[in-house]
A and B are shown apart, each in its own frame.
Chain A
Amino acid sequence: MVKLVRNELMKIFSRPGTFVMIGILILMVSVMGGIVKYNKNHEDVKVNANWKQEYQTEVKNLEKNIQNSKNSQEIKYFKRDLALKEYQIKHNISPNQDYTVWSFVNDASGMISLAGLFTIIIAAGIVASEFSWGTIKLLLIRPINRGKILASKYVSIILFALLLLIVLYTFSSILGVILFGTPDNAVPYLNYIDGKITEQTMAFHLMISYGLKSINMIMLATAAFMISAVFRNSSLATGLSIALMFTGSTITVLLATKFDWAKYILFANTDLTQYFDGVPLVKGMTLTFSIIMLAIYFVLFQFFAFFVFKKRDVAA
């Protein structure tokens, strides 16, 4: 199995296109860094010395709101805000922070969708290309179960996605340190879970955040992989997955305003950050629900891919 994955990685990294993708990713982060740096130089940082007083009045407002509101979702959101603000006042954590490396790494997480795009392209081609190259014939007459071959291809996609994420995280960290410097005193990230506030280091929090934000890309890459294996057509797989990537969440949000069943759509569940710092898309959705839905979609995609790939007559 390790050998098979090595084979797949060799094929991925022997093509110039792969390095172009990594190059574009690095380039885009650099451009973004440049723009942020430029804007920062031309704008004065507003230091609000009275933040504590402002927070205290806000806290009072929030308390009132919690009493008046009848919407449980809303109350939850207010409570979270309240807890955070109280904690900040108590521990003297100013919201007026300079733009530092961590802010940049956080902003760079927007590039995860670009990494997702590239992963989709690789995933869409990994099975379909073998058919269009004709190499599938020589690949499938080895003394290896077809399922293993397909599994090694999927593992390679995940490794590739992971590599892109690591490149993005490390490069934006390095660039962030160079352009914006490290914060003078490390400000922790405040985590609100079940009414309690805990502190997390920024680096760790951002890693978690990167992980959560890449769920969407992993699921779409899995979909592309499935389409690729079922239809043997990389253009179809790329096109469909990218179309879903751009429109999927928008359509889901629109549907969610009207229909309750929108919560069963894949895209309603890919953004797990909604449970940590936000409001769930549809009332009554929980983290467990989303994880179960994701698992169901994942198993379904894999089932189709493996079922069709194993049964297929290779006559191309």
Chain B
Amino acid sequence: MSKIVEIQNVSKIIKGRKIIDSLSFEVNKGEVFGFLGPNGAGKTTTIRMLVGLIGITSGDIKIDGHSIKTDFEKAVGKVGAIVENPEMYKFLSGYKNLVHYARMSKDIKKEKIDEVVKLVGLTDRIHDKVKTYSLGMRQRLGLAQALLHDPELLILDEPTNGLDPAGIREIRDHLRMLARERNMAVIVSSHLLSEMEMMCDRIGIIQTGKLVDVQLVSDFVQGTEKVYEIEVSNNKEAQKCVKGLFPDMTVQVVENGIVAPLKKEDIPLVMKELIMADFQIYGVKEVSKTLEDRFLEVTENKEAAVHG
């Protein structure tokens, strides 16, 4: 896999405050990269630097080998993007908006505009004024605008914002298709974690301007161990009982029972012990950690490290 974006030790200082602190990561062709972080972590700032809307204080960003600082036109020519909401000229029709942006790139023919319109499914309404569009339609027009010049890198800031479930699914399928069939790299930022889980191949977590972690989604969600929830009567006593078996384990007490990170082969042993001690067991289930749990875990750890 070849790299399309290289972010090299990038920092951004605005009015003496370090918004982005030595950020480095890479995105490969044909990959959907999720950019995740709490509000104010620097996601949008990073994306703005990627497309040259704001300057870079130190470090460099290269897109297909061209620096966005020194070779802006070549670098940004490979990029299609929606930065935050897709704001369009409301007094123009959707089609004229696309013509407007088509004129700003080289050699975009009328057929290409029609093709893109068809791809995002706006053919029926494209000649209506944008002010009559719903948010979902604007989102799609935004996507059309970003795809006009066949970019090698697609950057979307919160692409599913304001879409209904069908629309979200459609965008998701589009992105996957673009990544797979056209070998396009896609960078998506979102706070909808479950969305990211379904859309992305890799995820980078950013917090207070620093990159906390970059992992494959599958690794990220799985983590290393599994957690089991045992629904049991008298949960506090049960916790002590399990602690007795595994003194080093952190066993949590939850509403209807206890939660413990057990190995699969240890479950019968624990069951036996609990039954012998006369606990009533109503069920045992595996709790797979969602991205959200992991996300909170990672960011909280970091915060604890910073404050501790």
- Show the binding face of A for B, using Cβ within 8 Å: 3-4, 6-7, 10-11, 14-15, 133-135, 137-145, 311, 313-315
Q: How far is the CB of A20 from chain B (nearest CB, A)?
A: 14
Q: Which of A3, A11, A141 has the most CB of B within 10 A?
A: A141
Pick the contact of A145 from B72, B83, B91, B103 — CB < 8 Å? B72
Q: Please list the 6 inter-chain residue pairs (A to B) with the smallest Cβ-Cβ separation, ordered nearest first.
A: A134-B87, A143-B77, A313-B54, A142-B104, A3-B103, A314-B53
Bound Cα distance from A11 to B55, whole angstroms: 28
* In the bound complex, CA of A11 to CA of B91 (Å): 8
Q: Is the interface of B mostly helix, strand, loop or mixed?
A: loop
Answer yes or no: B89 CB below 8 A from chain A CBs.
Answer: yes
A140 touches B53 (CB 8 A): yes
Give chain B nearest CB distance to A7 CB in angstroms.
5
* Closest residue of B by beta carbon distance from A2: B103
Residue of B nearest to A6 (CB): B103
Contact A7 B103 (CB under 8 A): yes
Kindly list chain A residues whose C-beta atoms are within 8 Å of the C-beta of B79. 141
- Distance between Cα atoms of A313 and B20 in the complex (Å): 15
Given contacts A145-B73, A315-B48, contact A10 B83 (CB under 8 A): no
- In the assembled complex, which residues on chain A have CB atoms less than 8 Å from the CB atom of B22? none
B25 contacts chain A at the CB level, 8 A cutoff = no
Distance of B79 from chain A, by nearest CB (Å): 7
In Å, the complex CA distance between A309 and B84 comes to 21
- Separation in Å of the B163 CB from the closest CB of chain A? 19
Report Cα–Cα, A137/B155, bound state, in Å.
Answer: 13
Q: Is B88 an interface residue (CB 8 A)?
A: yes
Residues of B within 8 A of A314 (CB): 48, 53-54
Contact A143 B74 (CB under 8 A): yes
Give Cα A4–Cα B73 distance, bound, in whole angstroms. 15
Chain B residues 79 to 107 lying within 8 A of chain A, measured CB to CB, are 79, 81-92, 96, 99-101, 103-106
Residue from A3, A6, A133, A137 within 8 A of B53 (CB atoms): A137
Chain B residue numbers with a CB within 8 Å of A137 are 53, 83-84, 87
**A135 contacts B87, C-beta separation under 8 Å:** yes
A7 touches B76 (CB 8 A): no
B71 CB to nearest chain A CB (Å)? 10
| Cβ-defined contact, B87 with A133, below 8 A | yes
Task: Give A14 to B100 CA distance when docked, in angstroms.
Answer: 12
* Contact yes or no, A141 B96, CB < 8 A: no
Shortest CB distance B108–A (Å): 10
Q: Which residue of A lies closest to B145 (CB)?
A: A138
What's the least CB distance linking A4 to chain B, in Å? 7
Distance, CA A11 to CA B88, complexed state (A): 12
Residues of A within 8 A of B38 (CB): none
- With both chains docked as a complex, state the minimum distance between the C-beta of B243 and any C-beta of chain A, in angstroms: 52
With a CB–CB cut-off of 8 A, which chain B residues contact A140?
Answer: 52-53
Give chain B interface residues in 17-50, CB to chain A under 8 Å. Answer: 45, 48
Could you tell me if B83 and A143 are in contact, using CB atoms closer than 8 angstroms?
A: no
B54 / chain A contacts, CB cutoff of 8 Å: 313-315
Whole-angstrom distance between the Cβ of B8 and the nearest chain A Cβ:
20
- Give A142's nearest chain B residue, CB to CB: B104
A314 to B45, CA, bound (A): 10
B80 closest partner in A (C-beta): A141
Cα A314 to Cα B83 in complex, Å, equals 11
| Cβ contact within 8 Å between A7 and B53 | no
A selection of 19 A-B contacts at a CB cut-off of 8 Å is: A7-B104, A10-B100, A14-B89, A14-B91, A134-B84, A134-B87, A135-B87, A135-B88, A142-B105, A143-B72, A143-B73, A143-B74, A143-B104, A143-B105, A144-B73, A145-B73, A313-B14, A314-B48, A315-B54
Q: Does B51 reach chain A (CB closer than 8 Å)?
A: yes
Check B104 against A3 for contact (C-beta < 8 Å).
yes
* Distance between A133 CB and nearest chain B CB, rounded to angstroms: 6
Measured in the bound complex, the distance between the Cα atoms of B81 and A140 in whole Å is: 11
Complex Cα spacing A261 to B72, Å: 45
Contacts of A143 in B (CB 8 A): 72-74, 76-77, 104-106
Checking B74, B100, B106, B145 against A7 with a beta-carbon cut-off of 8 angstroms, the contacting residue is: B100
Besides the known contacts A137-B87, A138-B82, A143-B74, 20 further A-B residue pairs in the complex with CB atoms under 8 A apart: A3-B104, A7-B104, A11-B89, A14-B91, A15-B91, A133-B87, A134-B85, A135-B88, A138-B88, A140-B52, A141-B79, A142-B104, A142-B105, A143-B72, A143-B76, A143-B77, A143-B104, A311-B55, A314-B53, A315-B48
Given A133-B87, A133-B89, A137-B83; A142-B101 close (CB under 8 Å): yes
